[in-house]
Structure 1
């Protein structure tokens, strides 16, 4: 799946079938379902990709203290760009991992 295909799927009522969990969470986040996205992040705490998602979600929520905790857990500096840029970065990273695992 390409970034453009993923982005196009955001206008559909349901996410594409067989999305990896972190991409599914980012799909839900883009469709204003923060809770569903957060449930995914919490489902595998301690896993770097999920913890990184967790950091983004709390940054988006405005909880900078909690976001900072999750960024530190992943040894990642707090993202300096916009939330939209961070979302796009995370989606592209996940799509790249999906391609590499094929």
Structure 2
């Protein structure tokens, strides 16, 4: 899926079929449904789920929690505008077979 197709899908009543949970979370967050977005990645153990989880907590203003999830994702904590991080997450995770390094070890 392209970023343009993802953006257009935000006007639809339901997300595009077949999106992994971390992209579904970004879809719901973009539509203003932080709670659903968070629920989708709350138990996620993949690096992309942890990365999106970190982004969501950063948007919420809970930087301590966000930093924990950035570490779990193996990512450096973002510090620029939230919209820039959102677009970067989409660009990274919409590419097939990119950015998903599998499940993280339990801690």
Give the TM-score of the pair, scaled to structure 1. 0.87
Give the TM-score of the pair, scaled to structure 2. 0.84
- State the distance in 2 between where 1:23 and 1:56 align: 12
CA-based RMSD = 1.9
**What SS class does the counterpart of residue 97 from structure 1 fall into?**
coil
Aligned length: 100
- State the distance in 1 between where 2:75 and 2:43 align: 20
The Cα shift of 1:20 comes to 1.8
Structure 1 stretches of 4+ moved >3 Å: none
The Cα shift of 1:40 comes to 1.1
- State the distance in 2 between where 1:21 and 1:5 align: 17
- State the distance in 2 between where 1:81 and 1:97 align: 26
Which ranges of structure 2 fall in alignment gaps of 5 or more residues?
A: 99-107
Structure-2 residue corresponding to 1:41: 41
Render the CA deviation track for 1:10-67: whole Å, top value 9, x for unaligned: 11121112222211110000001111111111132x3211111110000000001110
